[in-house]
Amino acid sequence: MSKPELKFTVLPGDGIGPEVMTSALEVLHVLAARAGLTLNYSTHPVGGAAIDDCGVALPDSTRDACAAADAILFGSVGGPKWEHLPPAEQPERAALLPLRKHFQLFANIRPGLLYRELVDASPLKTERIPDGIDMVCIRELTGGIYFGQPKTTRTLEGGDVEAIDTMVYKRSEIERIAEVAAQTALARNGKVCSVDKANVLTTSVLWRKTVTEFFAQKYPQLKLSHMYVDNAAMQLARDPNQFDVLFTENMFGDILSDEMAIVCGSLGMLCSASLGTGRNTHGLPFGLYEPAGGTAPDIAGKGIANPCAQILSAALMLRYSFGLDSLAATIESAVREAVGDGYRTGDIAFGGQTVNTAQMTKAIIERL
């Protein structure tokens, strides 16, 4: 009998993307061999690398390869070399946004995890987070004010200029992100906080009503709370651990998830999953998995990037798109142990001794 197969597309991208992707693939290879799984993946250009190779940031061949797979393992795209291009042709905008749109990646899941050993990486006072941080931020990714129509600028009679963005949410869009939040909470501590601005915005009134009814009907066992977004921004900086699963609409999530990332310290440790409406051949969500950080041009090519975020993104891929929760947990424990045992790339060393990307990867593999 052939071994169970994990079919995914690898898009390393630019800058440190290919460096940390090598680490993630090494980890996956070791784990797959041990678990009796076959890795079936192909690597394709995206972002600046694709502009250089094929003239566009997202070649059709790359998109087709993604469509034929069960998941996408993504590095990061962009860098100074392509900054002169018009905004619509820039790597991030011309590669990542079309991928999100094409695959209807509506749910962005970003774990906010800061190990106790790394509390110094957080700008928060250590006494506020003595045991680190452990929460998850879930952002609706395909609706709201970033996509609503009309979106226009016009000159009014008399010469003044007016710009319009439109914030739209459908009940069905709110319910499907609420479902992701509920499933995440079920796998954690059963606590969910929905963030909105229902005291001002009509879309938020529908958001809060829909979320309240959805949880009452489908998940009465979960502890649901609501918070206004301005308060949530303050509470994240005051006491992030009061949240377990925080979920919110697109623009609020854009801002709060970045606030959470800085509160959690180094970008080199933070991973994310963007789940689509589609189901893959395993009947699980098709998803795109990527580090929270970018291409880090300041350290690219030096072999010193922190590979943890990319490796942890691969763990999320195993969990969400392949249903391999225990293998995902194996990776997460190995990363935690390596950091706990004192292995630190420059971004998390705080002036202490550092290891390079390859050494960090080796330390993680030894602890799998």
Catalytic positions, written as ranges: 146, 197, 230, 254, 258
The residues that bridge with 86 in the sheet, in sequence order, are none
Judged by CB under 6 A, does residue 181 bind ligand NAD? no
In angstroms, the CA 306 to CA 269 distance is 7
Q: Which of 197, 188, 194, 198 is nearest to 216 (CA)?
A: 194
* One residue of 51, 264, 299, 335 binding ligand NAD per CB under 6 A: 299
E strand or H helix at 362: helix 357-366
Total site size for ligand NAD, rule CB under 6 A:
23
Q: Which of 166, 176, 320 is nearest to 247 (CA)?
A: 176
Residue closer to ligand NAD (CB basis): 92 or 173: 92
In angstroms, the CA 236 to CA 82 distance is 35
Q: Which of 176, 53, 171 is nearest to 108 (CA)?
A: 176
DSSP E strands in 130-279: the ranges are: 133-140, 148-155, 161-166, 191-196, 223-228, 245-248, 271-279
Closest distance to ligand NAD from the beta carbon of 270 (Å): 9
In the chain, the amino acid numbered 84 is H
Residue closer to ligand NAD (CB basis): 197 or 344: 344
Residues 327 to 346 in contact with ligand NAD, rule: CB under 6 A:
345
Applying CB under 6 A, which part among 74-82, 180-188, 217-225, 359-367 lies near ligand NAD?
74-82
> DSSP letter string over 5-35?
EEEEEEEEESTTHHHHHHHHHHHHHHHHHHH
Judged by CB under 6 A, does residue 12 bind ligand NAD? no
In angstroms, the CA 79 to CA 161 distance is 34
Applying CB under 6 A, which part among 53-61, 103-111, 228-236, 296-304 lies near ligand NAD?
296-304
Closest distance to ligand NAD from the beta carbon of 239 (Å): 25
- Residue 241 CB contacts under 8 Å (≥ 6 apart), including other chains: 129, 131, 133, 134, 135
Exposed e or buried b per residue across 21-38, where buried means at least 16 C-beta atoms within 10 angstroms of its C-beta: bbbbbbbbebbbeeeebe
Residues 213 to 272 in contact with ligand NAD, rule: CB under 6 A:
267-268
In angstroms, the CA 118 to CA 115 distance is 5
Closest distance to ligand NAD from the beta carbon of 288 (Å): 10
Judged by CB under 6 A, does residue 19 bind ligand NAD? no
Residue closer to ligand NAD (CB basis): 255 or 267: 267
Judged by CB under 6 A, does residue 312 bind ligand NAD? no
Residues 98 to 137 in contact with ligand NAD, rule: CB under 6 A:
none
Judged by CB under 6 A, does residue 296 bind ligand NAD? yes
Binding mask 345-364 for ligand NAD (x = CB under 6 A): x-x-----------------
Residue closer to ligand NAD (CB basis): 201 or 299: 299
The answer to whether the peptide bond before residue 150 is cis (omega within 30 degrees of 0) is: yes
Judged by CB under 6 A, does residue 305 bind ligand NAD? yes
Judged by CB under 6 A, does residue 92 bind ligand NAD? yes
Residue closer to ligand NAD (CB basis): 243 or 289: 289
Residue closer to ligand NAD (CB basis): 40 or 350: 350
* One residue of 12, 18, 79, 276 binding ligand NAD per CB under 6 A: 79
Applying CB under 6 A, which part among 27-35, 119-127, 160-168, 287-295 lies near ligand NAD?
287-295
Closest distance to ligand NAD from the beta carbon of 36 (Å): 31
Q: Strands 271-279 and 105-114: what pairing?
A: antiparallel
Counting every residue written for the chain, the total comes to 368
Binding site for ligand NAD (CB under 6 A): 16, 20, 76-79, 92, 96, 267-268, 290, 293-299, 305-306, 309, 345, 347
